[in-house]
Amino acid sequence: MCTILLPIKPEYANKIIKRTKLYEYRKTVCKRKIDKIVIYSTSPVKKIIAEVEVKEIISNS
């Protein structure tokens, strides 16, 4: 179990916080089991805005 820092564009980070965006798609799956994600809102905000709990990782080839 670990925590990772994930940089996300402000428009999508805000949607995650408001719960209008429930999934974040990435090209690669983390090698470790993740239980928390620290969301870093990228430029122009440039700061950490939230910490979220991961319920499930869904992957597909």
- The whole-number pLDDT of residue 48 equals 98
Coil, strand, or helix at residue 4?
A: strand
CA distances from 54 to 18, 23, 43 (A): 16, 10, 24
Residue 19 structure tokens? 């719960």
pLDDT in tens, 1-58: 799 999 999 999 999 999 999 999 999 988 899 999 999 999 999 999 999 999 998 8
Question: What is the per-residue DSSP string for 18-58?
Answer: TTS------SS--SSPEEEEEEEETTTT-EEEEEEE-----
pTM: predicted TM-score of the whole model, two decimal places = 0.85
Query: Distance between CA 10 and CA 43 in Å, rounded?
Result: 7
